[in-house]
Structure 1
Amino acid sequence: MSDAATSPGQNRTPRPPARPPADRPRDAFFDNAKYLAIALVAMGHSWEPLKGDSRVLEALYSVVYAFHMPAFIIISGYFSRSFDMRPDRLKRLVTGVVVPYVLFETAYSLFERSVGGSPGQDISLLDPWYLTWFLCALFVWRLTTPIWKAVRHPLPVAFAVAMLASVAPSIGDDLDLQRVLQFLPYFVLGLCLRPEHFRLVRRWPVRIAALPVFAGALVFSWWSVPRMNTGWFYHRDSAQELGAPWWCGPVMVLALFGCSLLLTACFLSWVPGRRMWFTALGAGTLYGYLLHGFVVKLAVYEGWFDPGWLHRPLGEILVTALAGAVVTLLCTGPVRRVFRFAMEPRMDWAFRRDAVEQARERGRERERQAQERREPANA
């Protein structure tokens, strides 16, 4: 009778608090893509002091700039799909984006003062210098991710924002908002993508088609070098600031997105899907991105690009190889360990403990103690 009177769920063993999901193994394809994209970023920066003397290098520079940052931003958006306002994710956003931005924006400003010969260079967290704009953009994009996930048609809305920004010179330079807004569609596209979309571009027909597409892009770029302002690729100015009619802004946003998306698909089609010697470097691409800027700027300030032989084909090849080697070194484990305090700081002291996580830890501790009590009894 007493058993019958007991409510159905009263004698059930209580479930332990939910455990956080185990870390998934890293996908070699995306690590390979991130490393190759960041290597192209470094090579493109090393070409800037040289490209004025070579129309071929200028054409290659334009093709690379048409897709290397879009590819990196699309992948960043893809891996931001799960972002929400959960405390642990906000903490990672602060420690992985905000803190590196503050530290590197300060470091770049001090570097410009001491090495670049600009004693009046101010330390301003509102005016990103050189490479730090991407951290500003990533912070804004990721923080707005829940909005894009809630909107019915996020990509058209992102295009509308980008096109409006392209005709608004009054936006100014604060936080490099022109770049933040004009590159926004690439991030939102990454949020909308699924694994099957990446499998689609890695099929052999796409890989074969990528060869004539890249060849045609190089030929067109060589033709357009004296006819087109490469400032369009940077997305940091409005149409009026580039000396074009206002209506060119929205047109170029759409045209460049189409070109960038096509070249990014071709680039991703040839990214290896298996583990390669550089796969592990994909986890350190932010290190390579932020640190290689000091090397490039130092080379410019010290006149390392000045020798005439570097402006000939063999010299340009050597500079390209050195840029690839330097950014590769900066993505390695030893460099990451040295600079982890700035890129991935442990700042538990700055945040409140999450109540949910505390409950999970207490549940795990109780389960461990119960297991220890059961073991002697079983023995």
Structure 2
Amino acid sequence: MSNAATSAPRRDAFFDNAKYLAIVLVGVGHAWGQILDGNRTVETLYRFVYTFHMPAFIIISGYFSRSFDLSPKRVKRLITGVVVPYVVFEFAYSMHWRLLGGDPGHDISLLDPTYLLWFLCALFVWRLTTPIWRTLRWPLPVALVIAALASMTPTIADDLNMQRVLQFLPCFVLGLCLRPEHFALVRRRAVRIASVPVAALAVAVAWWSVPRMTNDWFYRNVPAQSTGSPWWTGPVLTLALFGCSVVLSACFYAWVPGRRMWFTALGAGTIYGYLLHGFLVKEGIYSGFFDRPFLDTPLGEIGVALAGATAVTLLCTPPVRRALRFVVEPRMEWAFRQDAGEAARDRRPPSAAQGPDTRVPAQERVSA
């Protein structure tokens, strides 16, 4: 077997499966979010899913950011894989709104992320600060303190959706702290069995919470005072939601298959499904599709969930990735200076390399 073959980075099927299934839940959640009015059953499932689907995704993002530093190669990847798609899709979402009859004077602001683009802002900030978290002795407690303080600080501006960036920060930092054996631990049969009653209890709590809590808590995008609650509820609910998110994420990971499945390859394209499915949801909102009475029936609710899952799946497929790679994962070699030492290292065979391999792992190259 050739050196090229033996040195090719291998993808872990478990993480690709987890990323795909998490992004499907994101699509289903966004679809359900449009038919919540007066529907307690859908809102219960919506809150249950929203408790862990983004945290589970963010934890994996943090896990694959462990080796991030400020080296030119990784900074380039941060720019091409996060900054450029953010700028492109911020413009695209704004134009989509204008073309469908929205406010023609709608401003395009890179400081105010549209809809689901907050995640790219957050990923940019989190990855830039990764060297700091990797240096601290107790990174997770520090991140939790920051999130708790943010949850009771109404003076934090909306720029870059900083409330979400800070309140979801502990999930990313947790991912930075995890090792392969931690994921192996939650994938044991005993954990898989225990996750069933835990998930059932979480659904029951979600049902109880519907008339008692606002959904803003699950979005993590506002301080406590904005929900009409006293300031001290911010830290309490931030810590409580973090604990619930971690437990339910562990339950989710416990049921993610570790072998290759028909959807495993789609895990490499989840950033496409994430960024593109928002256009479909917004199209449904602008066109009034979600106002149809049929969607308030059990069959309609199931149909919306299936449509969301199907749409995200199709948007993660190779044809879509090939067609849109130039904006989602552009190479942009023309925009960066070529470091002579880096070019020499890239030309050398792996067997001749000195010191640790600094190449970016295959799954780290995928931002979402």
1:292 counterpart residue number: 277
Letter in 2 for 1:130: Y
Q: Distance in 1 between matches of 2:177 and 2:336?
A: 31
**Structure 1, residues 248-286: CA drift from partner, whole Å, max 9, x if none?**
111111000011111100011000000000000000000
1:321 counterpart residue number: 306
Q: Distance in 2 between matches of 1:340 and 1:363?
A: 28
1:67 counterpart residue number: 52
Specify which of 58, 78, 95 is matched with residue 63 of structure 2: 78
Give the match's secondary structure for 1:300.
helix
Letter in 2 for 1:85: L
Q: Distance in 2 between matches of 1:360 and 1:117?
A: 51
Note the C-alpha offset of 1:149.
0.4
Note the C-alpha offset of 1:116.
5.2
Q: Distance in 2 between matches of 1:325 and 1:298?
A: 16
CA RMSD of aligned residues (A): 1.4
* 1:113–1:121 CA contact under 8 A, matched in 2: yes
Unaligned runs of 5+ in 2: 353-368
Relative to structure 2, which stretch is displaced further, 45-54 or 95-104? 45-54
1:137 counterpart residue number: 122
Are 1:124 and 2:109 counterparts? yes
Change (3 A) 1:49 1:360: closer
Specify which of 164, 176, 197 is matched with residue 149 of structure 2: 164
Q: After TM superposition, which residue ranges in structure 1, 4 or more long, deviate above 6 angstroms? A: none
Are 1:173 and 2:173 counterparts? no
Note the C-alpha offset of 1:52.
1.6
User: Which aligned pairs between 1:41-120 and structure 2 lie closer than 5 A?
Assistant: 41-115=26-100, 117-120=102-105
Q: Distance in 2 between matches of 1:72 and 1:116?
A: 34
User: Which aligned pairs between 1:244-283 and structure 2 lie closer than 5 A?
Assistant: 244-283=229-268
2:355 counterpart residue number: none
Letter in 1 for 2:267: G
Note the C-alpha offset of 1:23.
3.8
Q: Distance in 2 between matches of 1:176 and 1:77?
A: 19
Specify which of 288, 305, 310 is matched with residue 290 of structure 2: 305
Q: Distance in 1 between matches of 2:155 and 2:346?
A: 51
Relative to structure 2, which stretch is displaced further, 262-271 or 300-309? 300-309
* 1:58–1:225 CA contact under 8 A, matched in 2: yes
Q: Distance in 1 between matches of 2:348 and 2:313?
A: 43
Q: Distance in 1 between matches of 2:284 and 2:211?
A: 27
Specify which of 18, 21, 28 is matched with residue 13 of structure 2: 28
User: Which aligned pairs between 1:215-234 and structure 2 lie closer than 5 A?
Assistant: 215-234=200-219
* 1:53–1:311 CA contact under 8 A, matched in 2: no
Give the match's secondary structure for 1:171.
coil
Change (3 A) 1:142 1:314: same
Q: Distance in 2 between matches of 1:55 and 1:191?
A: 36
| TM-score using structure 2 length | 0.92
Are 1:205 and 2:204 counterparts? no
1:347 counterpart residue number: 332
Unaligned runs of 5+ in 1: 1-18, 368-379
Bigger Rg, structure 1 or 2: 1
Give the match's secondary structure for 2:280.
helix
1:336 counterpart residue number: 321
Q: Distance in 2 between matches of 1:330 and 1:118?
A: 28
* 1:161–1:181 CA contact under 8 A, matched in 2: yes
Q: Distance in 2 between matches of 1:301 and 1:132?
A: 18
Note the C-alpha offset of 1:361.
5.2
1:182 counterpart residue number: 167
Note the C-alpha offset of 1:53.
3.3
Letter in 2 for 1:257: F
Letter in 2 for 1:277: W
2:356 counterpart residue number: none
User: In percent, how many aligned pairs have the same letter?
Assistant: 66
Note the C-alpha offset of 1:309.
1.5
* 1:133–1:175 CA contact under 8 A, matched in 2: yes
Change (3 A) 1:52 1:363: closer
| TM-score using structure 1 length | 0.89
Q: Distance in 2 between matches of 1:137 and 1:22?
A: 32
Note the C-alpha offset of 1:360.
2.6
